[in-house]
């Protein structure tokens, strides 16, 4: 669903809680000129409208909608962008490139009347997806010498060697892995896909706008490429009214 541009559809549902539901189109993001090849991401994708940020933080419009809130104290909006997200990371090693790093994320930001005053969490932005991938090796440069090395000791089985889990016993002598030949992969992920923004607003008309952008791309290095896509998804705005002793909210920094 992330790869096709879908038509915009706007649906308004009137309820006691003033529930506003919107669907947004699916768009594919390519940071900078990193356009990976392959059966899924290969080739040029034409977007209408185009949205291809070239740096971290460049925003792509998600949804903008007006809503009129009732007068009185305690008026609060619960805004929930919910979406399907996709991340692509490609790391490649060679005899000259021994370490490659790929970092890509999707950040969703919310504004009310063009600002972030009264929005929780502070700043109005949440990372919905983040992936850090790093691969390194010393195999290619030492391939000819990547054989087991003598670690000493007389043995009848591997249990007699210094490291029974990795050493082997051959011809009554202990041999172990070559420390100069290794391959390491580091991968960390962060996922949300939906988040409840809490907005304290006065009564009257307001404009709510949700945007999304890439994050983490500047940390990509080596022979690496990254991409991300968003959609389909929904944004729900619920008008509520808080009263004394009626409840509480807690945010985790």
The predicted-structure confidence for 211-235, as pLDDT tens digits, reads as follows: 888 888 877 777 788 888 777 777 8
Cα angle, residue 184 at apex, residues 179 and 188 outer, rounded to 5°: 150
Question: What does the mean pLDDT of the chain come to?
Answer: 72
Torsion of CA 58, 193, 130, 253, to 10 degrees: 90
Read off the pLDDT of each residue in 44-71 and give the average, rounded to a whole number.
Answer: 65
CA distance 21 to 121: 22
Read off the pLDDT of each residue in 60-83 and give the average, rounded to a whole number.
Answer: 82
Q: Tokens for 62?
A: 């998600």
Domain boundaries, given as residue ranges, for the chain? 9-93+104-129+192-241, 147-180
Q: Tokens for 78?
A: 């619960």
Read off the pLDDT of each residue in 62-82 and give the average, rounded to a whole number.
Answer: 82
- pLDDT, residue 2, reads 46
- Round to the nearest angstrom and report the end-to-end CA distance of the chain: 32
Nearest to 106 by CA among 32, 215, 3: 215
199 or 57, which is more confident:
199
4 — phi, psi (to 5°)? -110, 140
* pLDDT band with cut points at 50, 70 and 90 for residue 244: low
pLDDT tens for 118-161 read 899 999 999 999 999 988 887 776 676 777 888 888 899 999 99
Torsion of CA 215, 44, 231, 120, to 10 degrees: 20
180 or 154, which is more confident:
154
Strand partners, 139: none
89 — phi, psi (to 5°)? -130, 135
What CATH class is the domain 9-93+104-129+192-241? mainly beta
Residues whose CB is less than 8 angstroms from the CB of residue 218 and which lie 6 or more positions away in sequence, other chains included? 55, 56, 103
């Amino acid at each position: 669903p992330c790869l096709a541009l879908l038509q915009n559809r706007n649906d308004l549902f009137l309820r006691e809680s003033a529930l506003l539901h919107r669907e947004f189109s699916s768009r594919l993001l390519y940071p900078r000129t990193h356009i990976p090849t392959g059966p899924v991401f290969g080739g040029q994708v034409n977007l209408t409208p185009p949205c291809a940020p070239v740096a971290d933080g460049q925003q792509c419009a998600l949804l903008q909608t007006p809503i009129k809130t009732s007068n009185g104290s305690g008026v609060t909006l619960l805004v929930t962008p919910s979406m399907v997200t996709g991340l692509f990371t490609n790391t490649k090693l060679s005899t000259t490139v021994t370490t490659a790093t790929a970092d890509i994320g999707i950040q969703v930001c919310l504004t009310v009347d063009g600002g972030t005053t009264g929005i929780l969490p502070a700043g109005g932005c949440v990372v919905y997806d983040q992936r850090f991938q790093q691969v390194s090796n010393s195999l290619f440069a030492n391939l000819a010498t990547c054989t087991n090395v003598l670690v000493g000791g007389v043995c009848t089985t591997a249990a007699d060697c210094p490291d029974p889990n990795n050493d082997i016993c051959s011809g009554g002598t202990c041999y172990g892995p070559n420390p100069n030949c290794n391959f390491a992969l580091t991968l960390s992920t962060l996922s949300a896909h939906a988040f409840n923004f809490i907005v304290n607003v006065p009564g009257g008309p307001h404009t709510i706008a949700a945007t999304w952008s890439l994050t983490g791309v500047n940390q990509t290095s080596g022979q690496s490429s990254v991409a991300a896509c968003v959609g389909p998804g929904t944004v729900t705005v619920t008008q509520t009214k808080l009263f004394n002793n009626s409840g509480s909210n807690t945010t985790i920094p």
